[in-house]
Structure formats: structure tokens, C-alpha cells
């Protein structure tokens, strides 16, 4: 049985960029007569906005994007992340490097803009260093998968990303760990999300293997960006979806996803054709 999900961060109200991911995953799940779950990725407390989770849920309801089962909040699932870290124990090590030290000896910049960690603390914390973050050891085996929209993908983690953080220096579980634990816990078979996360997928598949989880299918839809090429977000000033005009919001989103126009969501489900999604990582739009 198909199980999909929408996993927003409650940093502000739903904007066009997140609606693209929400509608694509909802349509894919409904067209497959599957379940569609909502999960709030609210681990990063300082970035949260009070009331944003409820605003997002209210907008989904107003648009007719109904979900199945209770909404899951990552902030209430810390025990599961803790046991996953315990399970990864033989594959992780403590790193004492500061951001500055990593950029001074980095192997370059990864596709997602982060520094490639050179493995400084792999053989043990250097003398006089305090443990900061927990990293997982990567290798040189290519991690490959076939994305349903973006085509075949492959990444050699050690070379292109480096050993990556699963527990952060600020005491938070890393996004990559939490998302993998949650997708497994919720039995997700199909991840449909924005292509800004395409480069995270190999790390997530790698963790799934280490933890003995199965790997879902992936479909990365183009990310909506502004004229400057920045991903739409609260930080880049994206406008909230106007819930007074739900049909217009759905119409614009269907167009962005390359889908045929539809009079309502029933027709949009019937028309849903993932092969029409533009095979692009990002598409610039005029405004959120």
C-alpha cells in the first residue's frame, strides 16, 4: 500500500514553494489510492514560528488537501532518534571541529553548499579537543537511485559530502537522521518533495542501509525559486498562500507541476501524470 507524506518545517505560513511539494505528494498518494501523512519537522526550535504549524494545517484544510491519521511532530519523537543513534554507534564518531576549522581544511564545497568534511576526527578526537557533533563514517561506494522525475542519481558520499553530522553541536538531532527514522517509523513508501532535497537523498539512503530500513521511492519536483534563484521561504520573503482563493492557488501549482488544468481536486487526481513534471531542479516564479 502506498504511503506518502508532507513534512513542512513550521517556520511560517504555507507559501507557494511548500504548496508545490504538498500538492504533488497529495496527488501522487491519492492517484495511487494510498495514505497521505503530515509530519511537522519542528526540531530546529529557534527557527520555529509560534502558531505556524496550525496555520499550515489550516491552509491544507482550506485547500482540500486532507490527510490521514494524526499529525506527527518531530519534537515529540526524540526517544526514537536517540535509539537510532545508539544503533549507529559502530558507524559514528565524535568530531571536535568548529565551523571555522572545517572550512580551513575542507575538501571543497558540496552540492548543497556545505563544506566537505575531510575526516579530521575519524581516528579519534585530537588532543585537547572537546566533542561537539557526532558524524557518521561514509565510504566510496556510489549511492545511486532512480528519481521518478529527475532521473538516475548517484553520489559518492565520502568524496562529495564527507562524513556527515547526525547529532549537532547545538544538541539537536540532525535533519538527515530524523527524516530517515520518521519515514521508516511511518512506513513511507513514496517520498515526493522539492528538488532542493535531491542532494540529501543519498545520505538518507545510506542511513537507511545502516539502520536496516527499506528505501522508499523518490520523486523530486522542481523547487520554486525567486528571480535571484533563491528558494522561496520565509527568509526570502515568500508570500503566504491566499486561502481566500483556493482554486487559484491549486491552478497555479498544477501549472508549475506541468499538469493539465483541472476544475477541482478530483479532476486533478484523475489527470495526475508525474511524467509531465519538468525535469528541472528549480523554476523561477514571479512571487510566492
Q: Whose Cβ is closer to Zn ion: residue 132's or residue 148's?
A: 132
* Shortest Å distance, C-beta 103 to Zn ion: 12
Q: Is residue 133 within the footprint of Zn ion (CB under 5 A)?
A: no
Q: Whose Cβ is closer to Zn ion: residue 122's or residue 239's?
A: 122
Pairwise CA distance, residues 117 & 191, whole Å: 27
* Cα–Cα nearest to 128, from 96, 92, 94, 171: 96
Which member of 7, 57, 85, 97 binds Zn ion (CB under 5 A)?
Answer: 97
Q: Is residue 95 within the footprint of Zn ion (CB under 5 A)?
A: yes
Q: Whose Cβ is closer to Zn ion: residue 76's or residue 105's?
A: 105
Pairwise CA distance, residues 104 & 275, whole Å: 43
* Shortest Å distance, C-beta 96 to Zn ion: 6
Pairwise CA distance, residues 32 & 30, whole Å: 5
Stretch that binds Zn ion, among 40-48, 88-96, 149-157, 196-204 (CB under 5 A): 88-96
- Long-range pairs for 66-70 at CB < 8 Å and ≥24 separation? 66/36, 67/6, 67/36, 67/37, 67/38, 68/35, 68/36, 68/37, 69/35, 69/37
Which member of 27, 37, 121, 249 binds Zn ion (CB under 5 A)?
Answer: 121
- Residue 283 class from Cβ within 10 Å (0-12 exposed, 13-18 middle, 19+ buried)? middle
- Residues numbered 158 to 177 that lie near Zn ion (CB under 5 A) are none
Element (H, E) at 4: strand 3-6
* Shortest Å distance, C-beta 88 to Zn ion: 17
Pairwise CA distance, residues 41 & 9, whole Å: 5
Size of site (CB under 5 A) for Zn ion: 4
Stretch that binds Zn ion, among 3-11, 48-56, 118-126, 184-192 (CB under 5 A): 118-126
Interacting residue ranges for Zn ion, rule: CB under 5 A: 95, 97, 120-121
Amino acid at each position: 500500500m502506498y504511503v506518502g507524506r508532507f513534512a513542512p518545517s513550521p517556520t511560517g505560513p504555507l507559501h507557494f514553494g511548500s504548496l508545490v511539494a504538498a500538492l504533488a505528494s497529495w496527488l501522487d498518494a491519492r492517484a495511487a489510492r494510498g495514505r497521505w501523512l503530515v509530519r511537522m519537522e519542528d526540531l530546529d526550535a529557534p527557527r520555529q514560528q509560534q502558531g505556524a504549524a496550525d496555520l499550515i494545517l489550516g491552509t491544507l484544510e482550506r485547500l482540500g488537501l486532507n490527510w490521514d491519521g494524526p499529525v506527527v511532530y518531530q519534537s515529540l519523537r526524540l526517544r526514537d532518534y536517540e535509539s537510532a543513534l545508539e544503533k549507529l554507534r559502530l558507524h559514528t564518531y565524535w568530531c571536535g571541529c568548529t565551523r571555522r576549522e572545517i572550512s580551513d581544511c575542507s575538501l571543497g564545497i558540496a552540492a548543497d553548499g556545505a563544506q566537505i568534511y575531510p575526516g579530521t576526527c575519524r581516528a579519534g578526537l585530537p588532543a585537547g579537543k572537546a566533542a561537539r557533533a557526532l558524524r557518521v563514517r561514509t565510504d566510496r561506494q556510489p549511492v545511486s537511485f532512480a528519481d521518478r522525475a529527475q532521473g538516475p542519481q548517484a553520489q559518492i558520499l565520502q568524496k562529495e559530502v564527507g562524513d556527515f553530522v547526525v547529532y549537532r553541536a547545538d544538541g539537536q538531532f540532525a535533519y538527515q537522521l530524523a527524516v530517515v527514522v520518521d519515514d521508516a517509523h511511518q512506513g513511507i513508501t513514496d517520498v515526493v518533495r522539492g528538488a532542493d532535497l535531491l542532494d540529501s537523498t543519498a545520505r538518507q539512503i545510506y542511513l537507511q542501509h545502516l539502520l536496516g530500513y527499506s528505501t522508499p521511492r523518490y520523486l523530486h519536483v522542481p523547487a520554486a525559486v525567486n528571480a535571484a534563484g533563491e528558494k522561496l521561504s520565509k527568509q526570502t520573503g515568500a508570500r503566504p498562500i491566499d486561502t481566500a482563493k483556493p482554486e487559484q492557488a491549486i491552478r497555479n501549482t498544477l501549472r508549475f507541476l506541468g499538469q493539465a488544468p483541472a476544475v477541482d481536486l478530483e479532476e486533478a487526481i484523475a489527470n495526475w501524470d508525474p511524467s509531465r513534471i519538468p525535469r528541472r531542479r528549480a523554476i523561477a516564479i514571479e512571487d510566492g
